[in-house]
Structure formats: structure tokens, C-alpha cells
Amino acid sequence: MSWFVLVLSGVLEAVWATALGRSEGFTKPVPSVVFFAALAASMAGLAWAMRELPVGTAYAVWVGIGAVLTVVVAMTTGEESVSALKILFLTMIVGGVVGLKLVH
């Protein structure tokens, strides 16, 4: 269950990171509210998962999932360019996250 909550919290990290960018310095109310709600839920899930998972592993997985999904969203919406090297490096991050799960 801890791994499921951790992955969900990583997804929520991508939500709050994307919402933060779209809030334009908290001047847009809807993205700002989404940011704060997703941030709170993401942190709560991370804290809950850390009750059973080592802090280093949990944090690395949480950040990795959030970072990869945030970049993928930005690429999908055209806010960030797509390149073979970026995809390679994102794949390496995903490989690291999977590796941490396997060695746990």
C-alpha cells in the first residue's frame, strides 16, 4: 500500500508543479487553488509512505515520478520541446525509480 500511495503522491507532485507554473505567480485563482490542494495531498501521501519506506528511497521515487510527469505534460502541451536526448534522460530517471523499487 505504501508504494501505491507514494506513486500517487508523485503524480500529485506533477499536478502541483504544473499548476504552480500556470498560476503565474499566484495571480490566477484556479491554478493557485489546484496548486495548494495538490501540494497538501502530495506531501501528506509522501509522509504516509515514509512510515514504511526509507526516506531516501521514498523521496527519490517521489521526485523522479513528479519530475518525469511534469516534463511529459510540458512536452505534450508544447510548453517544452521534445528531443531524443530528453526522452533518453527521462527514461533513465524512470529506470532509476524502477530500480529503487526492485532493490527495496
Identify the three-state secondary structure at position 79. coil
Q: What is the pTM of this model?
A: 0.91
**Both ends of the chain: CA-CA distance in Å?**
14
pLDDT in tens, the chain (104 residues): 999 999 999 999 999 999 999 999 999 999 999 999 999 999 999 999 999 999 999 999 999 999 999 999 999 999 999 999 999 999 999 999 999 889 87
